[in-house]
Structure 1
Amino acid sequence: TLMCFRSCPSQRGGGLLLRAVSFSSSRCHGVSSGEGSAQPAESGSGQGQYRDTVLLPKTDFPMKLTGQKLLDKELEIQQFADLYSWQRERKAKKEFCLHDGPPYANGDPHVGHALNKILKDIRNRFEMLRGRQVHYVPGWDCHGLPIELKALGELGTSGLSPLQIRQKAREFAEGAIARQMAAFQRWGVMADWDQCYYTFDGAYEAAQLKVFQEMHSKGLIYQDYKPVFWSPSSRTALAEAELEYNAEHVSRAIYTTFPLVSQICLDSVSVLVWTTQPWTIPANQAICYMPNAQYSVVKRLDNSELLLVATERTANMAALLGTELEVVSTFTGSQLEGGICKHPTIPSKEVPLLPANHVTMAKGTGLVHTAPAHGMEDYSVASQFKLSVDCIVNEDGKFTELAGPELHNLSVMNEGTDRVISMLKECGSLVKEERCVHSYPYDWRTKQPVVIRPSKQWFINTASLKDKAKEALQKVRVLPESARSSLLAMLDRRTYWCISRQRSWGVPIPVFYHRETGEALINKHTVSHVAQLFKEKGSDCWWELPIETLLPAASKAGPVGDYIRGEDVLDIWFDSGASWAAVLEESDSRADAYVEGKDQIGGWFQSSLLTSVAVRNKAPYKSLVVHGFAVSEKGEKMSKSLGNVVDPDVVINGGKDPSTPAFGADVLRWWVAESNVFSEVQIGPNALNSARDSISKLRRTLKFLLGNVHSFDPRSQAVDPKEMHYIDQYMLHLLREFSIKVTDAYSEFDPGRVIRVLQAFISRDLSSFYFSIIKDRLYCDPEDSLGRRSCQTVLEEILDGVTRSIAPILPHLAEEVYLHAPGHDEGETLFRSGWIKSSSVWRRPGLEEAVEGACAIRDSFLSSIPGKNSAQYDLTIAIEPGLLFELMESLQEEPTSTSSQLCELMMSSRVKLCSELPRDLPSDALLKHGTFLINLEGGVIREDSAYSIAVVPTSAARCPRCRRFTAESTDCLCPRCQTIVSQSQ
């Protein structure tokens, strides 16, 4: 049935009714039913004599907590180190495992860390509260080039041994870890801080090598000479996940000709090709065409040159060259088979025309320059047709001797490109040069462009894993679901994964090479032996121990002296991707969730999936949660140059500028929870001030609740639901609905919905409705009366439910409230006492319909006196005999009353309940009619009931104690108050 009272909040307490409440009994307060807020008794009228008989809220819980007091209180409450170990030791039927994606140990904590760690902690705390044993071991990704470069600074690697480089890198990583860990703990993150995992630990490295060995034994890891993304600025190979694409990169694109020496009947025909990388022309081994496409020989009318281009591209070429192109002949691509061209800058070299599937007509000429050593698709063509894959670029990005004396030692991306273009001009092959702005891969750390060059590296054959990985992903829940397509697309893009790096700071690839032949020695015996050494001594022993110790006798490799140890280390994505093997407790276990930013779709999410599928044929996670990035309030990426960086330490502790107050950790946590984490998450002064204000409003509600249960012990004074007032039972029903919604939202990784449900419950159901109705009963009824204890029972349930509902988001505030709340022994903590304990309470038949029917009538009453005080009116309700009348009778048995449950709900002076309106109504009576649909037993009983109301100003006087209009005169107490005062004397 419709909760009609929710439609008109403006007259049910005027918003957050607590704003006018003084939580001190030193002044006398009455109750204004219309405004729902306590008012001071008028001075000088003798009414102050009743001040001690009114039961006003009383609590030490502060309305505000700011500045250093706030920070001190949070630190006092932070007992989270014990909490994790306590819950790991208790008995629990189920475990919840959230596997921590390791942040990179190369800098200070930032708001991106806060977004990620707090989001995880909110879910972990919820799961712990609901009785599950949480498994959450924080970790750090400690290896890799960025740490190595930062550690070495301006020193570079010259003169330093691998062990010296590793020592400096380790010290740098340890410092970053210490700073990050301190911040995560200050944010209130509950975790196993004594058992964190670090990818530079020997035990972790050993587990990683076990994964490596199992993949190698299955033939999934192999060594090959292939084109890889190479960073000249870092002097190492990079994986796809270590690239970032610069959409503003500018290349000097060229159109150049390769003279055709066979196949076409016409003389002097040249094949026209287009490339954005002119430096690769000296490495050309073929020109590719599309077999099913149409090609034409065209004649330039400005110089009679004959060019071979795709027919589909002829019009574009004419516009580009600024001349008409006359079609001489047209034929299909398949007729180009067997064609041979002359290389423009190497006259003695001939290159074939070859069919290829990767040729498109979107750009260029429809004929693709192919340099197998410097392009992934080009390499595929070379593999198919047995072409040479000679590398003409060294590790510094400069031409080698193979490129010829004119190019030797020139940087391919700079002066090398200039020289190749000059050479093409000199031999008459350059047709046109143009500036091309396009997306180009850059090294994600040095921010410098990369090149593609062949190198002897170690690879994972991801092509053979793709189908299994996709199948495994089908069983994984992805939030948001839209991220699934990105995961699948990233898998499709990766044909192989280069896992070797030419650096010192990382896990050594456990391979030995023959001194003479260069043949690799690696098998289960050698890898297992090295893994055991790493577990005992750490991977520094790869450089510290003699090869006789590193190479086991069981390898049967021949004389140990014939071998040298390899110098490459593993890609850090393999490092972190193997974390499931090192951290998850059982070999066949899967984490309930991996929670990381969207950049990990092509990073940790994928490397973890591939390694787990390779070894165990299943994903390492049951669900993936993919959140957005933290950005400025203008939606910009944070950067020091823009001055929009938000430091979480300044958010919590305040800054030097007065405009940056100390917000505390809970404000940071509220910001995370309230945000739509599945998109970009904005942070700045507006968002933080809004979070602080929201928490302040919440504190006021909690203070009101605490103040009104200060003398109440739920363990001995709670009222059985079936003895409660109807509205009190009804609030327990709403509290149960609230708890179900909150539980569902937390389970869906949606703390933002938790906050919306919480704020709606407080504003609509509590402040604007229940609080305004019960204050007279709460303040002015006898302390131990059934009506007051009934109300306090519900207030304590609401306090407990609201406190637990916010605890995962605001653990500091929740524990602070719990310290002031009744019903538990001193020293108990909220987080050790469980989740919301709501239950489906016993209700009389028709309970909800009775209250909601009364609320529909109440709405009619309040809308007939807009802006007026409802307590100054008498209300007559006329309902024909039937279900609705019977329901209203359950709230008011007598025909007229000033103290019935129905009168309390109406907040009027008096309510008369009858079957028809009296005929002798005064002329100033306000009349209104309405209907209420009764829906009982799931729709089995439905009745649309009509009612009428008459509203007249009351003739009663205001009682000097309770301030309701129920007294005979202004200097006389109402009958209720007379009884209470006389009994207290």
Structure 2
Amino acid sequence: MLRAWWAPALERARAGAARGWPRSSASEAAAESREDSRYRDTVLLPRSRFPAQLPGRLQPETELKTQQKCGFSELYSWQRQRKTKQEFCLHDGPPYANGDPHVGHALNKILKDITNRFHVMRGDKVHYVPGWDCHGLPIELKALSEVKGAENLSPMEIRQRARAFAERAVEKQKSAFIRWGVMADWANCYLTFDPKYEANQLRVFYKMYDKGLIYRDYKPVFWSPSTKTALAEAELEYNEQHVSRSVYMKFPLLKSPPKLTSVIDGSSPASVLVWTTQPWTVPANQAVCYMPDSAYSIVKCATTGQHFILAADRVESTAAVLDTQFEVVSKCKGADLAGGSCAHPTIPGRVSPLLPANHVTMTKGTGLVHTAPAHGMEDYSVASHHQLPTDCLVDESGYFTEAAGPELKSKNVLEEGNEAVIKMLQAAGSLLKEEKYVHSYPYDWRTRKPIIIRASKQWFVNTADVKAAAQDVLKKVKVIPTSAMNRMLEMLDRRTFWCISRQRCWGVPIPAFYQKSTGECLINSETITDVIKIVEQQGTDAWWVLPIEQLLSKEAVAKAGGRDVSDYVKGQDVLDIWFDSGTSWAHVLEGADQRADTYLEGKDQLGGWFQSSLLTSVAARKKAPYKTLVVHGFTVGEKGEKMSKSVGNVVDPDVVINGGEDHTKDPPYGADVLRWWVAESNVFTEVMIGPVVLNAARDDINKLRNTLRFMLGNVEGFNPETDSIPPAEMYIVDQYMLHLLHEYGSKVTEAYKQYDYSKVVRLLQAFCSRSLSNFYFNMIKDRLYCEEAKDPKRRSCQTVLAEALDVIIRSFAPILPHLAEEVFQYIPYKKDSEGVFRTGWINASSAWKKPGIEEAIEGACAMRDSFLGSISGKNALEYEVIIVIEPGLLFELMEALQAEETSSVSQLNEIMMASQTTLLSEVPKEIPSDANIIKGTFLINLEGGDICEQSSYKVIAQPIAKAKCPRCRRYTAESSSTPCPRCLQVLAAGKGST
């Protein structure tokens, strides 16, 4: 196990030792030249053409060359042709084709690509078909915004313009995704306006209709006057600062509740007191609702003497708002109000009964709720139960209709209509108070304008009949993070119905025909089969282009009991885009099961695509379309703020990659910096991006490049096939590094499997920084640079470097594919390689795993830590170390690292980083006065605790008396002008340089 306490010890390593990335060959050679130019060329310094950094435009240019040279565009097709049984399917949630690519796209697509590339390297056959959501109002509105006189366009003209707009957006986004290195067959994507896609969607629609799960009804829905269409709840956004004109009004009692007759004797008029934030709905009032189990009070107003009924809990607060005092005359239960009725506050002669309802709350208002069934979901439920009218007095544009009366006709309900109703209340003596009320209110998320609730004929999915099954199925799905499961279950629980019809023309038509005189709907297996055949061949344009006689057969009409095709008209509604995208599983997923391994999208899809996919799949075939859901957060600025053009914190991925107009302000980072940002972020919360984050990502990649460059430079002249040393014959510290490498490979693999890519980055950085750069590289430089080129000791650490290089490259390849393929081209012994992604995942041999080896190395490192700590800031090579260990297991382990008593070339001395190490079991009788003596203990724990022994040790550090070797620069020579014995031996062999 690599212990964190190694790092500070190594950071305190003696002056002159390289830290992190060792110096380049040129700087090392210059230093040697200053020392003694005679031996410069005999030292085997690292040699590699791999650049430590790619400044300026070189980064994006190199990436493009790498994509071309390494076959990025062919990789998806290549892996699909492999003969492997194991398949991994990541189903692409279609991004909306209504704008330029942004960092939200980058976050999502890169996460998916990291996942897919990992599975390709693992040997799986990846199924990933990119798609786009191409229908719907946002596209229609943007396409029409480019046209003067858009209101005069025919449905087909609108559809053609919307399609062209969507196609342009798809091409822009596709180009960006390819540039980011996203692997796919980009010539074969899915678009929701493809005829075959539309046909499959209609098949799912009819399956659900045939099961009674889709129906048409007249009921209140969220309605956008600004776009003249019904909306689903997922298409709303809430304005927390919306201001409504709220009113307190009275409904005079016409008939006292029987249980209150004795209290309300009729000597003075009594009214129920009602509060609403939507005065425009008052003309549609059909009742006043109360909570049966709550307490109510009959009060007398100190100012006017009038009697009012309101909730007991709301007496004081309401009196304060009305700037009066209420005297409580009597109290009763809500249930005691049963049987009473009131006069409508603005329409003479209309009666509003008092009715019980469980949706009445006591948190605000008066505890009595004005009920307009055409303009409220709960109101509609009350009306359905009591058979009240549900007349809607508001048209598609949000204006009062003629049925509302001459005073209100053609007035906008949210503007002058509201004002008119308030004046009517005032004129009738029903208005007690008007005030501004700031609250959360739903807006159309496309136009950013307020919506209303309005009753109309719409098509609905009966979620009540699907919800329980969907929740049961969802509980068997793996959800990452787990907290998202509860959020989605709660959303499903709250979903009462799903309105799937829209009153627009850019979409898939609901294939229904209506009898002209009765409005009765005609849809059956014959009609739907005919329509699907036509759609599959011609697309849904056929619904608008072809006459009804070509869409509806005489046989289908006759079977339905009709007489003539001309008695029918085509429906004008289109399907909600959530139904559009939610049925993608029926078109994209392959095999009889048609289930994806993974859906991976942002958290907004918990109420969107994740949910619509689940509901349609469960409704049509009683199973989920996915096995795993991965849910990521949104992108935000560096301070956690929402991105906004006005604030100026919007990050454009294209500018990140290629730089802005001013490269000093917006430098070109390349795509891998964008990918590193995605991987290193905790994507399960909000994901921050900005200049500081991007600079840090670039610096991290440059540090990684330096680590790679050191390994590349030191495997020059090494051929793994002929020069590798078997693990059993390696230095123990080399065996230990293979052990750590095996452990690293296992942890990285598991992190990828759990979609925890930030953990992959942390593991990579820790291993490169602590295990390699700070620990291993510093330790082995003498062996690498100063031993004879083919010496087994040197080959031993070169074997480790070659293995480490391979493991490291493969471990980050899914995240940084451009860098992985680039560095692969610089490996000296890789000739005409197929590249990283075509040659598999990390291959860490199980023979590398040697748990017992940790104790020997960690014991030596504990002593080295004591030594370096005692000479803080000084050059460790100027010292010799005496290690004294009491006889026992620790001493035996150290003997395995140094068989002789004193050595300057032993494995133990290499770890200690001194010029000479002596290993003793007793303290020498004579110790120089300037020696440092450090005491310590080390606990050996082997065989899972079966072998446990704590040993004491002493480390004695004293200045070494020998001279500095002019070749290896260690204090091991007899004279500063003559190399040390080891260097003399290398020089004598005449093999000191390659």
Smaller-chain TM-score range? over 0.9
- Matched AA of 1:609: L
In structure 1, how many angstroms separate the alpha carbons of the residues matched to 2:533 and 2:18?
65
Deviations 1:152-199 (A, max 9, x none): 114354332211111111000000000000000000001121210000
SS at match of 1:155: coil
Secondary structure of 1:464's aligned partner: helix
Aligned counterpart for 1:752 among listed residues 741, 751, 758: 758
- Find the partner of 1:252 among 234, 245, 252: 245
- The whole-number CA distance in structure 1 between the counterparts of 2:14 and 2:828 is 27
CA distance in 2, matches of 1:159, 1:434: 41
Match of 1:619 in 2: 624
The answer to whether 1:210 aligns with 2:203 is yes
Residue of structure 2 in register with 1:274 after alignment: 275
Structure 2: distance between partners of 1:596 and 1:552: 43
The residue aligned with 1:200 is: 193
Residue equivalent to 2:318:
317
TM-score, normalization: structure 1? 0.97
Match of 1:503 in 2: 504
CA shift, 1:683, in A, is 1.1
Counterpart for residue 34 of structure 1: none
DSSP-derived class of the 1:875 partner: strand
Task: Give the Cα–Cα distance (whole angstroms) in 1 for the partners of residues 295 and 20 of structure 2.
Answer: 80
Question: What corresponds to 2:811 in structure 1?
Answer: 805
Q: 1:77 to 1:148 in 2, by over 3 A?
A: same
Could you tell me whether the CA contact under 8 Å between 1:13 and 1:769 is conserved in 2? no
Q: CA deviation at 1:737?
A: 1.2
From the superposition, tell whether residues 786 and 968 of structure 1 become closer, same or farther in structure 2 (CA, over 3 Å): same
Q: Is the 8 A contact 1:98 1:136 kept in 2?
A: yes
State the Cα RMSD in Å.
Answer: 1.6
Measured after TM superposition, the shift of residue 277 of structure 1 is 0.1
The Cα shift of 1:303 comes to: 1.2
Gaps of 5+ in 1: 30-38
The AA in structure 2 aligned to 1:329 is: S
Q: Could you tell me how far apart the structure 1 residues matched to 2:208 and 2:550 are? A: 24
Q: Give the SS at the match of 1:170.
A: helix
Q: Is contact 2:13-2:873 (8 Å) kept?
A: no
Residue aligning to 2:11: 10
Instruction: Report the alpha carbon displacement of residue 5 of structure 1 after superposing the two structures with TM.
Output: 2.9
* SS of residue paired to 2:966: coil
Q: Deviations 1:355-388 (Å, cap 9, x if unpaired)?
A: 1111111111111100000000000000100000
User: Deviation per CA, 1:251-302, whole angstroms, max 9, x where unpaired?
Assistant: 0000100000112432210010000000000000000011111111100111
Q: For the Cα contact (< 8 Å) 1:12–1:768, is it kept in 2? A: no
Cα deviation, residue 628, structure 1: 1.1
Task: Flag the 1:208–1:729 CA change in 2: closer, same or farther, 3 A.
Answer: same
- Alpha-carbon spacing, 1:981–1:2, altered in 2? closer, same or farther (3 Å): closer
Give the alignment of 1:597-636 within 5 angstroms: 597-636=602-641
Offset of 1:100 from its aligned partner? 0.6
Q: Distance in 2 between matches of 1:152 and 1:710?
A: 63
Q: Is the 8 A contact 1:651 1:661 kept in 2?
A: yes
CA distance in 1, matches of 2:877, 2:606: 61
Aligned to 2:399: 398
Question: What's the CA shift for 1:635?
Answer: 2.0
* Secondary structure in 2 matching 1:970: coil
Change in 2 beyond 3 A, CA 1:440/1:844: closer
Q: Which aligned pairs between 1:519-918 and structure 2 lie closer than 5 A?
A: 519-555=520-556, 556-557=559-560, 558=562, 559-657=564-662, 658-841=664-847, 846-918=852-924
1:41 to 24, 27, 32: 32
From 112, 134, 137, give the equivalent of 1:145.
Answer: 137
Per-residue CA deviations over 1:630-671 (Å, capped at 9, x if unaligned) read 111232222222222111101100111231011100011111
Task: Report sequence identity in percent.
Answer: 62
Q: CA deviation at 1:535?
A: 1.1
1:840 CA drift (Å)? 2.3
The secondary structure found in structure 2 opposite 1:716 is helix
Please report how far the alpha carbon of residue 42 of structure 1 lies from its aligned counterpart in structure 2 after TM superposition.
5.0
Shift of 1:587: 4.0
Q: Residue in 1 aligned with 2:933?
A: 927
Which range moves more in the overlay, 215-224 or 186-195? 186-195
The Cα of 1:127 is off from its aligned counterpart by 1.2
Which residue in the other structure is 1:187 paired with?
Answer: 180
Give the Cα separation in 1 of the matches to 2:25 and 2:240.
Answer: 61
2:93 alignment counterpart: 101
Between 314-323 and 8-17, the greater mean CA deviation after superposition: 8-17
Residue 955 of structure 1 is aligned with which of 937, 954, 961?
A: 961
Give the letter for the 2:421 counterpart: V
Pick one of 231, 248, 253 that aligns with 2:224: 231
State the 1:149 CA deviation.
1.1
Distance (Å, rounded) in 2 between the aligned partners of 1:99 and 1:253:
47
Any idea what SS the aligned residue of 1:958 has?
Answer: coil
**Within 2, Cα distance between the matches of 1:398 and 1:330?**
42
Match of 1:33 in 2: none
- Residues 968 and 983 of structure 2 are in contact (CA less than 8 Å); yes or no, is this contact kept in structure 1? yes
CA deviation profile, 1:718-771 (whole Å, cap 9, x unmatched): 110000000000000111111111111111111111111111111111111111
Contact 2:640/2:688 (<8 A) preserved: yes
Q: Secondary structure at the match of 2:152?
A: coil
Deviates more, 1:533-542 or 1:629-638: 629-638
Moved more, 893-902 or 90-99: 90-99
In structure 2, relative to structure 1, the CA distance for the partners of 1:832 and 1:352 (3 Å cut) is: same
Q: How many residues align?
A: 972
CA distance in 1, matches of 2:420, 2:554: 54
| Alignment match, 1:36 | none
Aligned partner of 1:21 among 20, 23, 28: 23
Counterpart code for 2:790: D
Distance, in Å, in 1 between the alignment partners of 2:555 and 2:627 is: 40
Deviations 1:758-810 (A, max 9, x none): 11111111111111010000000010010100000000111111111111111
Give the SS at the match of 2:601: strand
Offset, 1:2: 7.2
Query: 1:722/1:50 Cα in 2 relative to 1: closer, same or farther (>3 Å)?
Result: same
Inter-partner Cα distance in structure 2 for 1:425 and 1:339 = 24
Corresponding letter in the other structure for 2:163: R
Q: Which blocks of at least 5 consecutive residues in structure 2 are unaligned?
A: none
Alpha-carbon distance, 1:28 to partner: 6.9
Does the 8 A contact of 1:722 with 1:844 survive in 2? no
CA contact (8 A) 1:873 1:909 kept: yes
Partner of 1:442: 443
SS in structure 2 at match of 1:967: coil
Counterpart residue number, 2:473: 472
Q: 1:240 aligns with which of 233, 237, 242?
A: 233
1:59-458 to 2 correspondence within 5 Å? 59-78=48-67, 79-153=71-145, 154-155=147-148, 157-263=150-256, 264-265=260-261, 266=264, 267=266, 268-458=269-459
- How far apart, CA to CA, are the structure 1 residues paired with 2:48 and 2:525? 69
Equivalent position SS for 2:596: coil
TM-superposed deviation, 1:13: 7.3
Once the two structures are superposed, residues 295-328 of structure 1 have per-residue CA deviations (whole angstroms, 9 ceiling, x without a partner) of: 1110011110110111121111122222221111
1-side partners of 2:649 and 2:491: how far apart? 31
Say whether the 8 Å CA contact 2:742–2:849 is kept in structure 1. Answer: no
SS in structure 1 of the partner of residue 847 of structure 2: coil
Structure 1 pair 463–866 and aligned structure 2 pair: CA distance change class (3 A): same
> Which digits, 9 at most, give the CA deviation of each residue in 1:208-245, with x for residues without a partner?
01110100010000011111111110011111111111
